[in-house]
C-alpha cells in the first residue's frame, strides 16, 4: 500500500479503537443503571441510527476536501466524547442526555466511513481493491478482538470515566494525524467551480447521485436482501447484554464476533474467485447454521462462543464482499455519494431491528430472540437463489455487473 493509504489505515484503526470502547462502555452503563432490555435495545438503536442518515453526507463528500471532512469529523466526535466523560466524572450523566450525545458523536463517526471508502477506491491500485479492503478490515478487526476481549475487564477495573476520557484524546489525535500528514489529490468535482449557490449545488449533486444509485438494479436487489438479513440479526444482537451476567461475559460474546469477522476478512480474498451465485448463498447458510447452533447449545461451556465465532467468519466474508461489490459497480466520480446512499440503505431498518429486539425481549426472553434471529442468514440464501437478477451472477466478485459509466 502507498503512504497515504497507510496513514488512512492508521487513522481508521485509532478511530475503531475509540469507537469500540466508548460504545461498549455506554451500553454497559445503560444496563447497569436501568437493567432494562427495552432501554438496552433503544441504546443500540440510537447507536445505529446515524448510519441511516449517511445519504445526507454524500454530495459533500464528492464536492469538498475529503481531508477536511475527516479532520472535522474526528475533532467533533472527540469533543462530544469529552463532554460525556466530564459529565460522568461529575455524576451528571443522565441517560437521555447520554443517548443524545452518543447519537451526535456517532453521526460524526459515520461521516468518516463513506469518505474513507471513497478514498480507498481512489488511492488503491486497479485490480487490488478487494485486497486493500481486506487489509483494512483485517487490521482494525484485529484491534477489535483486543478491545472486545479486555473491555469487560477495563470497565470493571479502570472505570467508565477513564475509558471515555482516553477515547476523546485518541479521536483528537487522529484528527491531527489527518490534518498534518494526509495528502489527497483532488477529484474532478472538487476542482470544478460551481456557479450555483451551496444549497442549489447540493441539491443538484444529490439528485445526480441518487439517479446513479437507482440505475444499479442488480446491486439494489442485493442490498435489499442484506437489509432484511440485518434486521433479523440486530434483533438478536440487542439481547447480548441481556443474557450476559457480567461485563466480562458480554466481552466474550463481542470477542467471538470480532475474531470470527477477522477470520472472514482473511478468507474473503481466498474465495473471491468463485461465482457470486454460488459463494454468497453458501456463506449465508454457513453463518445462519452456526448462529443457531451457538444459542441452541448454550449450556455447554466455551462451545457457544466458538460456534458464534464460526458464524461471524461467514458474516465477515459477506461484509468484505458487500464493500467490494459496491466499489466495482459505482462510477469513480460518484464513490462518495454512492457509498453514502447505499450505507444509508443498509442501515435503514437496523434501528427498527434493535427496537423490536428490545420490545420482544421484554415480552419473551433474550435467549429466545437470539436463538431465532440467525434465521435471517438462511432466508437471505434462499432469496439470493430465487431472485431472477441475482441467481444469474455467475461472475466472480472482482467483475462488475453494472455499467459504471
Least confident of 81-90, 192-201, 219-228, 252-261: 192-201
pLDDT band at 139 (very low <50, low <70, confident <90, very high): low
Candidate from 66-75, 135-144, 318-327 with smallest mean pLDDT: 135-144
pLDDT at 142: 63
Cα gap 39→49, rounded to integer Å: 15
Whole-number average pLDDT of the chain: 81
DSSP string, 270-316: HHTTS-HHHHHHHHHHHHHHHHHHHHHSTTSSSHHHHHHHHHHHHHH
Lowest mean pLDDT among 76-85, 148-157, 331-340: 148-157
- Residue 319's pLDDT is 84
Question: What pLDDT is stored for residue 358 in this prediction?
Answer: 78
Q: Which tens digits make up the pLDDT trace of 240-261?
A: 887 887 777 777 888 888 788 8
pLDDT at 84: 92
Per-residue pLDDT, averaged over 198-212, amounts to 74
**3-state secondary structure labels for all residues of 62-76:** HHCCHHHHHHHHHHH
Q: What is the pLDDT of residues 264-321, one digit of tens each?
A: 878 887 887 888 888 889 999 999 999 999 988 888 888 999 999 999 999 988 888 8
When mean pLDDT is compared across 3-7, 215-219, 276-280, the lowest value belongs to 215-219
334: CB partners within 8 A, 6+ apart: 62, 208, 209, 212
Q: Which domains does the chain have, with CATH numbers?
A: 3-386 (1.20.1250.20)
Confidence of residue 197 (pLDDT cuts 50, 70, 90): low
Distance from C-alpha of 258 to C-alpha of 309, rounded to nearest angstrom: 8
* Cα–Cα distance, 290 to 267 (Å, whole number): 17
> Given pLDDT bands bounded at 50, 70 and 90, which one contains residue 106?
confident
Q: Is the pLDDT of residue 324 over 70?
A: yes
Q: How far apart are the first and last CA of the chain?
A: 27
Structure confidence at residue 114 as a pLDDT band (50, 70, 90): confident
Residues 6+ apart with CB under 8 A from 184: 4, 65, 66, 67, 119, 122, 123
Residue 90 class from Cβ within 10 Å (0-12 exposed, 13-18 middle, 19+ buried)? exposed
Residue 289 grid cell: 447454521
pLDDT at 200 over 90: no
Whether this prediction's pTM lies above 0.75 is answered by no
Distance of CA 252 to the CA centre of its chain: 20
pLDDT in the model for residue 194: 59
Name the pLDDT band for 363 (thresholds 50, 70, 90): confident
Of 163-167, 207-211, 363-367, give the range with the top mean pLDDT.
163-167
Q: What is the mean pLDDT of residues 65-79?
A: 90
Q: Is the pLDDT of residue 152 over 80?
A: no
pLDDT at 227: 85
CA distance linking residue 123 with residue 112, whole number of Å: 16
Q: Alpha-carbon dihedral of residues 328, 330, 331, 333, nearest 10 degrees?
A: -110
pLDDT at res. 143: 66
**Alpha-carbon gap, residue 185 to 66, rounded angstroms:** 10
Contact 56, 242 (CB under 8 A): no
Reply yes or no on whether the pLDDT at 105 is more than 80.
yes
Mean pLDDT of 38-45: 82
Amino acid at each position: 500500500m502507498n503512504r497515504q493509504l497507510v496513514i488512512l489505515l492508521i487513522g481508521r484503526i485509532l478511530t475503531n479503537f475509540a469507537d469500540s470502547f466508548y460504545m461498549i462502555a455506554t451500553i454497559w452503563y445503560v444496563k447497569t443503571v436501568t437493567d432494562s432490555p427495552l432501554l438496552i435495545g433503544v441504546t443500540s438503536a440510537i447507536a445505529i441510527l446515524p448510519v441511516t442518515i449517511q445519504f445526507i453526507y454524500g454530495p459533500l463528500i464528492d464536492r469538498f476536501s475529503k481531508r477536511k471532512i475527516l479532520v472535522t469529523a474526528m475533532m467533533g466526535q472527540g469533543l462530544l466524547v469529552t463532554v460525556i466523560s466530564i459529565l460522568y466524572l461529575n455524576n451528571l450523566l443522565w441517560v437521555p442526555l447520554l443517548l443524545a450525545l452518543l447519537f451526535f458523536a456517532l453521526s460524526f463517526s459515520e461521516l468518516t466511513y463513506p469518505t474513507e471508502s471513497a478514498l480507498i477506491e481512489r488511492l488503491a491500485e486497479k485490480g487490488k481493491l478487494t485486497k486493500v479492503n481486506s487489509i483494512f478490515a483485517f487490521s482494525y478487526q484485529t484491534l477489535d478482538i483486543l478491545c472486545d476481549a479486555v473491555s469487560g475487564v477495563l470497565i470493571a477495573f479502570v472505570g467508565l470515566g477513564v475509558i471515555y476520557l482516553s477515547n476523546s484524546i485518541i479521536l483528537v489525535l487522529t484528527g491531527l494525524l489527518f490534518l498534518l500528514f494526509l495528502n489527497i489529490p483532488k477529484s474532478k468535482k472538487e476542482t470544478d467551480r460551481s456557479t450555483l449557490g451551496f444549497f442549489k449545488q447540493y441539491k443538484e449533486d444529490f439528485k445526480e447521485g441518487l439517479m446513479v444509485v437507482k440505475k444499479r438494479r442488480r446491486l439494489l436487489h442485493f442490498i435489499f436482501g442484506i437489509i432484511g438479513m440485518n434486521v433479523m440479526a440486530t434483533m438478536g444482537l440487542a439481547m447480548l447484554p441481556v443474557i450476559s451476567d457480567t461485563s466480562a461475559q458480554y466481552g466474550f460474546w463481542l470477542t467471538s464476533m470480532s475474531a470470527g469477522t477477522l477470520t472472514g476478512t482473511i478468507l474473503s480474498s481466498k474465495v473471491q474467485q468463485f461465482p457470486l451465485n454460488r459463494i454468497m448463498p453458501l456463506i449465508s447458510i454457513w453463518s445462519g447454521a452456526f448462529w443457531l447452533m451457538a444459542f441452541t447449545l448454550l449450556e455447554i461451556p466455551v462451545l457457544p462462543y466458538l460456534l458464534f465465532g464460526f458464524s461471524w467468519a461467514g458474516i465477515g466474508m459477506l461484509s468484505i464482499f458487500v464493500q467490494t461489490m459496491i466499489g466495482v459497480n459505482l462510477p469513480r466520480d460518484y464513490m462518495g455519494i454512492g457509498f453514502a446512499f447505499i450505507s444509508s440503505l443498509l442501515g435503514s431498518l437496523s434501528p427498527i431491528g434493535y427496537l423490536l429486539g428490545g420490545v420482544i425481549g421484554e415480552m419473551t426472553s433474550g435467549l429466545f430472540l437470539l436463538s431465532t434471529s440467525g434465521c435471517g442468514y438462511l432466508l437471505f440464501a434462499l432469496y439470493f437463489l430465487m431472485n431472477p437478477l441475482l441467481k444469474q451472477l455467475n461472475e466472480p466478485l472482482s467483475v462488475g455487473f453494472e455499467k459504471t459509466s
